[in-house]
């Protein structure tokens, strides 16, 4: 059995960044920017007012001073002339600051009578002028690669970038295997259960920038499995679920090998997830996840999310780890890395990670309420509550 780090390296070797495509900005949220985006304009393009009031010369502002209003500058329609001492221009938020103006007197700080304003006795100390290019300048870049957030989309729009170049979304074919499985909504027979892994993995894939295709459930016979694997052969990766262990009905490795799988590894020193395998099947990478529902979700988190990120051009890295204070004592760990479902909380102002008491790999209810996977190295010694421990956020 190889370590998690060795297995991840072998998984990531199966994947490279996908090709790029151009999409309209309105469809780009959550996509991975693949080419630097360049601002076509500065923002603001001109010095602009930050408030509603009057454009004036700072030197004129003394309590009781009177200034003559000679025009108006509104957003979308500036004032053409120049403003001399003793004069003022009515101005609104976002409007261009006229020549000669070096301060905005907000309307709350003066009174107006006809075309004359009188400066009040208290003045807001701010000048309320936003300089040209104060947000960004023409030629500034948003660097790729980058997962585009809502804020990024707003910035790109402001940069006048109506289209952006992004990575194509990786397509993952999901193959659940086993005679015992039926789809949600069907009525299971006496020894059947509902297939959950393919739905959980689809959600995980799509939350991480991929497209998941749920293929028909493959029955536990070689012909059925071969046929379904073939259906996935045009995807970027085939992910099988179950049938990976040593039982008489665990056929995935045998059938994939007969179909030409170049196996990269089989079995990893981790818990849950020991019977994980991966390799290359024709043009398609293949990852065989264990069938126990939590094992498939944990392996999906530890291996498939990094694989998706590699295809999206985001680099080849393990899932980021953070540290938190351990919420309760733990005994000695066994010889495999342990990814324990855990809950995060703030205790006495400190981020705390408390592993669930029950860690059986069939318990989806425990996974559903977990926020994190507490990570323990092989043979990690007993730990006391209060020690710092690494975790992966779910
Ligand atoms: N003698 C041994 N038995 C087992 C070993 C072992 O080393 N020696 N390893 C155990 C470990 S660890 C795991 S993990 C499982 C993995 O087995 P498989 O990958 O072959 O998975 P299956 O046998 O097909 O299924 C296991 C379990 O999960 C349920 N399952 C499968 N697919 C789904 C699905 N899509 N949705 C919901 N549930 C699913 C299946 O019904 C079984 O209950 O092997 C151990 N055994
Ligand atoms: O590795 Mo299995 O995934 O422990 O349940």
- pLDDT tens track for 328-348: 999 999 999 999 999 999 999
Considering every ligand atom, which ligand is closest to the CA of 244?
1
Per-residue pLDDT, 32: 98
Q: Residue 250's pLDDT is what?
A: 83
Please give the C-alpha separations between residue 295 and each of 7, 36, 51, 273, 326, in angstroms, as whole numbers: 15, 38, 57, 5, 23
Whose atoms come closest to the Cα of 336: which ligand?
2
Q: Give CA–CA dist 146/218, Å, rounded.
A: 37
- Does the Cβ of 300 fall within 6 Å of ligand 2? no
Residue 59: pLDDT band (50, 70, 90) is very high
Q: Which residue's CA is the nearest one to ligand 1's atom 9?
A: 245
Transcribe 170-195 into DSSP letters: PEEEEEEB-TTEE-TTS---TT-EE-
Query: Can you tell me which residue has the tokens 């536990």?
Result: 220
Residue 246 pLDDT:
81
Q: Which residues contact 220 (CB under 8 A, 6 or more apart)?
A: 177, 178, 179, 243, 249, 251
Tell me what the mean pLDDT of segment 19-37 comes to.
98
322-393: CATH class: mainly beta
- In this predicted structure, what is the pLDDT of residue 75? 86
Does residue 290 line the site of ligand 2, with CB under 6 A? yes
Q: What pLDDT was estimated at residue 245?
A: 85
Residue 140, SS3 per DSSP: coil
CA distance linking residue 281 with residue 287, whole number of Å: 10
From the CA of 298, the nearest ligand is 2
Mean pLDDT, to the nearest integer, of 168-174?
98
> What residue ranges do the domains of the chain occupy?
4-17+169-311, 25-43+134-167, 48-130, 322-393
Would you say the ipTM is above 0.95?
A: yes
Closest Cα to atom 25 of ligand 1: 291
CA of 270 to the centre of ligand 2 (A): 8
Confidence of residue 91 (pLDDT cuts 50, 70, 90): very high
Q: Report the percentage of the chain scoring pLDDT > 90.
A: 97
Distance 310 CA to ligand 1 centre (A): 28
Q: Tens digit of pLDDT for each residue in 134-160?
A: 999 999 999 999 999 999 999 999 999
pTM check: above 0.90: yes
Q: What is the pLDDT of residue 137?
A: 97
pLDDT of residue 200 exceeding 90? yes
Report residue 293's pLDDT band, with 50, 70 and 90 as the boundaries.
very high
What is the structure's pLDDT at 368?
A: 98
For ligand 2, whether the C-beta of 279 sits within 6 Å is no
The CATH class of 4-17+169-311 is: alpha beta
Atom of ligand 2 nearest to the CA of 360: 5
Q: What is the largest CA-CA distance in the chain?
A: 96
pLDDT at residue 259 greater than cutoff 90: yes
Q: What is the mean pLDDT of residues 288-313?
A: 98
Give the three-class secondary structure for 152: helix
The phi-psi region of residue 232 (left if phi > 0; otherwise alpha if psi is between -120 and 50; otherwise beta) is alpha
Decide: 337 in ligand 2 pocket, CB within 6 A.
no
At the second CATH level, the architecture of 25-43+134-167 is Alpha-Beta Complex (3.90)
What is the CATH code for 48-130?
Answer: 2.170.190.11
Pocket test residue of 212, 225, 245, 364 for ligand 1, highest count of atoms within 8 A of CB:
245
Q: What is the mean pLDDT of residues 346-361?
A: 98
Percent of the chain with pLDDT over 70: 100
Mean pLDDT within 272-293: 97
Check if the beta carbon of residue 322 is closer than 8 Å to that of residue 393.
Answer: yes
Confidence category of residue 126, pLDDT binned at 50, 70, 90: very high
The total number of residues shown for the chain amounts to: 394
What's residue 9's pLDDT? 98
Mean residue pLDDT across the chain: 97
Minimal-distance CA residue to ligand 2 atom 2: 272
Q: Is the pLDDT of residue 249 over 90?
A: no
- pLDDT at residue 248 greater than cutoff 90: no
b/e for 230-261, b at 16 or more Cβ within 10 A? ebbeebbbbbbbbbbbeeeebbbbebbeebeb
Confidence at 247, pLDDT banded by 50, 70, 90: confident
């Amino acid at each position: 059995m190889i370590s998690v780090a060795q297995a991840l390296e072998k998984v990531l070797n199966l994947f490279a960044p996908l090709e790029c495509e151009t999409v309209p900005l309105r469809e780009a949220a959550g996509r991975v920017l693949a080419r630097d985006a360049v601002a076509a304009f500065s923002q603001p393009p001109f010095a602009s007012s930050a408030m509603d009031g009057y454009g004036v010369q700072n030197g004129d502002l003394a309590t009781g001073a009177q200034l003559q209003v000679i025009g108006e500058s509104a957003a979308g329609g500036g004032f053409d002339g120049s403003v001399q001492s003793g004069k003022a221009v009515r101005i609104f938020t976002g409007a261009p600051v006229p020549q000669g103006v070096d301060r905005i007197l907000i309307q709350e700080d003066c009174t107006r009578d006809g075309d004359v304003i009188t400066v009040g006795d208290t003045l807001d100390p701010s000048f309320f002028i936003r300089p040209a290019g104060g947000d960004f300048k023409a030629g500034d870049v948003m660097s790729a690669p980058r997962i585009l957030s809502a804020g990024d989309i707003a910035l790109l729009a402001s940069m006048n970038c109506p289209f952006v170049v992004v990575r194509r979304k990786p397509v993952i074919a999901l193959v659940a295997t086993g005679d015992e499985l039926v789809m949600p909504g069907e009525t299971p027979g006496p020894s059947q259960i509902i297939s959950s892994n393919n739905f959980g993995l689809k959600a995980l894939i799509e939350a991480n920038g991929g497209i998941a295709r749920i293929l028909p459930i493959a029955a536990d016979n070689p012909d059925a499995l071969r046929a379904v694997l073939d259906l996935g052969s045009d995807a970027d990766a085939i992910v099988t679920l179950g049938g990976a262990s040593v039982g008489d009905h665990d056929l995935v490795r045998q059938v994939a090998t007969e179909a030409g799988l170049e196996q990269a590894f089989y079995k990893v020193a981790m818990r849950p997830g020991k019977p994980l395998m991966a390799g290359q099947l024709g043009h398609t990478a293949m990852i065989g996840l264990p069938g126990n529902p939590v094992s498939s979700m944990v392996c999906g988190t530890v291996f498939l999310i990094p694989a998706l990120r590699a295809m999206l051009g985001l680099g080849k890295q393990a899932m980021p780890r953070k540290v938190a204070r351990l919420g309760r004592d733990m005994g000695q760990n066994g010889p495999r890395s342990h990814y324990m479902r855990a809950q995060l909380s703030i205790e006495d102002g400190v981020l705390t990670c408390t592993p669930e008491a029950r860690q059986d790999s069939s318990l989806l209810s425990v996974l559903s309420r977990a926020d994190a996977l507490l990570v323990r190295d092989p043979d990690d010694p007993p730990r006391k509550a209060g020690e710092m421990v690494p975790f992966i956020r779910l």
